[in-house]
Amino acid sequence: MDADNLRQFGFVVTDGSSFFFDAATQGVASARVTDDRALTYVLQVDDPAHGFSLVTEVATDPDRPVVVVRAHLTGHTSNLQVYGYLVPHLGGSGAGQTAFFDGSRGYVNKRGLWLAVGGDTTKDQRTAGYLGHGDGYDQLHHDALTSRFRQAGPGRVTLTWKLNSGGGSWVTELAFGATRAAADGELDATEKVGAQGLFDAYRSGWRKYTSQLSAPAGDASLFFYSAEVIKMAEDKLHPGAIVASLARPWGDGASDDDGDVGYRKVWPRDLYHAASGLLAAGDTATAYDVLRFMGRQQRSDGSMPQNTDLNGTPVWTGQQLDETADAILLAVRLAGKASGPDIEKATSYLLGRGPATPQERWEEAGGYSPATIAAEIAALRAVERWEIATNQVVDRAVPIQDIVTQWDRSLESWTFTRTGSFGPGYYLRISPDGKPDTAEPIDIANGGGVWDQRQIVDPSFLELVRLGVRQPNDPRIVATLTVVDQQSAAGTMWYRYPRDGYGEKNTGSSPPGQGHVWPLLTAERGVYTVLAGGHGMPYELQLQSLAGADQLLGEQVWEGSGLPTGSARPLVWAHAEYIILAKAVATGTVDDRPA
């Protein structure tokens, strides 16, 4: 799930004399779900100038490392020629690869990894080449493959081939293996099943999965799809290892071989939300796998790492106490049903390190965070209940109850300012030293600048209500809502906080720039509204609108249009929050709220 083995695969269309059309970069692209009980799409790229459309469907072989692409042309298709174009990225880099054609197939290999390309290909109109140096893509800009080479590499290579598109349709298969024979064997087995048989098996597998789920009454399309997106992001060889997103934010502008796999890492916080969403949807088995994987992530001191690879080995080195608290909350909730993190070790770590956190949930600032402290208090209260229920006797110098009481009583003195310019009193995003009434400077990440801490508010404070630390109608909560809406709202969507620089300054650019609104914050606000006795449906409808025809919720969207930015999409956390919200709207209860 964290491997980047393909940089690009797509189709080029030409009439052989007057135009070149690259479906990856030209035309009008759209996507729509064809079955909300299965991860199936129709992808379409229209070329209004020449009156044709390229329609594509993709499926993976449920039993093999093979991707099957089925495509056809519609509209004015006479005299059109279609070519496949592949830019491999084996082992996370374009360098050092060798590509060649042999018989009816194309191949790429690099250090013990092979990619075999099969399907409806021709044996004459094809070439291996070097990316950006007169390869097939460059040649087709001049209407034909005039220089054809059987092999290219080692280097940054490409494959280009004419498709045998009799009747205007064709199938392409991409298979992986540790050897050429292994990749060929996988491809042979898939071809024996046939394209239609494989697409049927793929759909059937997803339908079997969703038949076990339980959705609220009404339009449950995005509910089912959200569960499927979460399940999709689980690595197939490491049960419970659900990555934060299959996307790399603004990855189209990334260098070819920097080694970063984007959000295809496993964050304990995102795992907690993923498991909570799946539990709300009725998938308990995957939630148990998540808990087991968390047990492999846990460090010897009881803490949870910022994130890990698929084996549970830490990658980034930050420390966020809400992630340790989240692991406790899930472990207590599923206690006795699956092994997981050591609750007592995690508890000792929280007691010894909290309540201030080196990083809050946005992974950017340290200090006293209302959201983090809410998670800590909720987790410690959960441990108290668990110890009583299981007759655990733990000899501590200071009882948990005493520490929880102290943190609860001190919460406002650490995080609630009464001297800020936005109102008589409100919670801050974070107070570095726990002195919210002072002009303490806070450094905003991604070039946001240095600001008085009292100028930075964040909807995350609503975790105090979500986790049962404060009541929905608490005057301090209500007052902060007013401030957050004044400073960070765009209708029923919210920014993380003022002056956020994580986002695009202009369309197509990458951070630092201008922060944009986050769909998951709409879901969190809807959850709060339900807890406060209000109507959460407007927030659910807003999220359905943001998901669009392809039913995907991203990290950020543009203000006004609601269209996705170049950030991660889909974002597992956002889909998990949608499930929780949809169920809360239907039942009036919030599924992941601690007892």
Return the active site residues. 360, 363
What is the chain's length? 595
The angle at the Cα of 312, spanning 308 to 315, to the nearest 5 degrees, equals 25
Please, what is the angle between helix 321-333 and helix 343-353, to 10°? 150
Structure tokens belonging to residue 330: 């899930």
Nearest residue to 580 (alpha-carbon basis) of 569, 565, 590: 590
Structure tokens belonging to residue 514: 């201008």
Structure tokens belonging to residue 20: 């070149």
Structure tokens belonging to residue 205: 């597998």
Torsion of CA 559, 562, 566, 568, to 10 degrees: 110
The answer to whether residues 115 and 88 touch, using CB atoms and an 8 Å cutoff, is yes
- The residue type of 504 is E
Those residues whose C-beta lies under 8 Å from the C-beta of residue 495, and which sit 6 or more positions away, are: 488, 489, 515, 516, 517, 518, 521
Question: CA 187 to CA 115: how far, in whole Å?
Answer: 10
Phi, psi for residue 585 in degrees, rounded to 5: -60, -40
Question: CA 381 to CA 329: how far, in whole Å?
Answer: 9
Query: Beta-carbon neighbour count of residue 37 at 10 Å?
Result: 19
The angle at the Cα of 337, spanning 222 to 307, to the nearest 5 degrees, equals 60
| Bridge partners (DSSP) listed for residue 403 | none
Instruction: Examine residue 355 and say whether the peptide bond preceding it is cis (omega within 30 degrees of 0).
Output: yes
The answer to whether residues 570 and 530 touch, using CB atoms and an 8 Å cutoff, is no
The answer to whether residues 283 and 328 touch, using CB atoms and an 8 Å cutoff, is no
Structure tokens belonging to residue 35: 């079955």
Question: CA 343 to CA 505: how far, in whole Å?
Answer: 43
Nearest residue to 195 (alpha-carbon basis) of 59, 63, 65: 59
Question: CA 40 to CA 316: how far, in whole Å?
Answer: 34
Question: CA 453 to CA 442: how far, in whole Å?
Answer: 5
Question: CA 170 to CA 75: how far, in whole Å?
Answer: 16
Cα separations (Å) of 376 from 50, 405, 532, 549, 565?
A: 60, 12, 22, 38, 33
User: Which residue carries 């608290």 as its tokens?
Assistant: 325
